[in-house]
Amino acid sequence: MEMAETSIKPRAPFDFELTAGYHTYFRGRYGTDSLDQGVYRRLLDLGGRQVLASVRSVGSIEAPELAVEFLGEVVSSADVAAAAQQVAWLLGADQDLSPFYQIAREDPALCQVTSRFYGMHLPLTASVFEALVLAILGQQVATAVARMVRTLLIETYGPVLSLNGETHYAFPRPHSLLAATVEDLRLLKLSQRKAEYVRGIAEAALDGAGRLENLHGLSDEEVVERVTQLLGVGHWTAQWVLVRALGRTDAFPSGDLALQRAISQMYFDGEKLTAGQIEEFSRRWSPYRAYATAYLFTALRTGMA
């Protein structure tokens, strides 16, 4: 067991607690991620080796700096660099919020939310595979149910590292989920369909020389075209992947029930809207609709809206 340290300087403004909090759905721990007493922890999977990253803030919102500690099989300085890059990615450290805040200034309701959560970046998943599976598990179920099923899956099939009496989990690898049978997955409260979808996605992730992870160079439309070929992946899930796995700032899950409710409440006096109307309304936030969505969800999750 070895240890290494490094530091990351996110782009200001950056609020560490809010950003890491978004990763854990403001619940302390959510699946692979935890935020406890100002320390964000996540088990990284560096090509088969597990490394626990512990991150805390040693700066401020306007002069952000993160102290990162790695515990595990970190050997070379190249490992440390790769791990640091992954942490920076997970926390959306490089994102520039200022143009989004400019747009929010024209929108009083949104501006109230961005002021309250000033400096919150949009955290990202470690892989497209992870985003896809998490999205499938979140389809059409209450958030509490989604959280339970996601955690069960991670703790059953994810790589493990125990340190100081605490057990940490990384996200399951594709081959682990493909090795599980549909019956196995149903024991974790996945429906028959979701179990099939998840195995199909695992198969796609292992197939064709990483086609699934090779989406960064494609346009939003091309990515949607590609991932909706997968069974179980519709418009909502594709947009979710664009936002969480690829960091596309303008992706927008217009069919999302909670999002529709939030927009309907905040802007239309509770009147029901179709997905098309939501889509049209959302243009005011373009090309930062993903950020607007994240801030609205944060308002919902923390009880502000």
Q: Among the candidate windows 80-88, 120-128, 155-163, 185-193, which touches DNA by CB under 7 A?
A: 185-193
For 24-63, the DSSP string reads TTTSSEETTEEEETTEEEEEEEETTEEEEEEEEE-S-SSS
Place of tokens 């597990």: 50
- CB of residue 53 to DNA, shortest distance in Å: 23
| All residues at 6 or more sequence positions from 284 whose CB lies less than 8 Å from its CB, including other chains | 103, 106, 107
Cα–Cα distance for residue pair 180/60, rounded to 1 Å: 45
Rule CB under 7 A: is residue 108 a binding residue for DNA?
no
Q: How far apart are CA 233 and CA 72, in angstroms?
A: 35
Q: Min. distance of Cβ 248 from DNA in angstroms?
A: 14
Toward DNA, which CB reaches closer, 3 or 257?
257
Token pair belonging to 95: 């994102």
Q: Is the CB of residue 94 less than 8 Å from the CB of residue 22?
A: no
Number of residues that bind DNA (CB under 7 A): 39
Which tokens sit at 61?
């919102």
* Closer to DNA by Cβ: residue 86 or 125: 125
Q: Using CB under 7 A, which of the segments 112-120, 172-180, 204-212, 233-241 binds DNA?
A: 233-241
Least Å distance, CB 236 to DNA, is 3
CB of 37 to DNA, least distance (A): 23
Rule CB under 7 A: choose which of 39, 67, 258, 305 binds DNA. Answer: 258
Contacting range for DNA; rule: CB under 7 A; set: 42-50, 58-66, 72-80, 223-231: 223-231
One of 165, 208, 217, 276 touching DNA (CB under 7 A): 276
Nearer to DNA, 54 or 237 (CB): 237
- With CB under 7 A as the contact rule, the residue among 29, 49, 189, 284 that binds DNA is 189
What character string, x for contact with DNA (CB under 7 A) and - otherwise, covers 127-156?
A: --------x--xxxxxxxx--x--------
Smallest gap, in angstroms, from Cβ of residue 163 to DNA?
29
Give min distance, CB of 275 to DNA, in A. Answer: 5
Interface ranges with DNA (CB under 7 A): 25, 135, 138-145, 148, 186, 189-193, 228, 230-238, 240, 255-259, 274-277, 297, 301
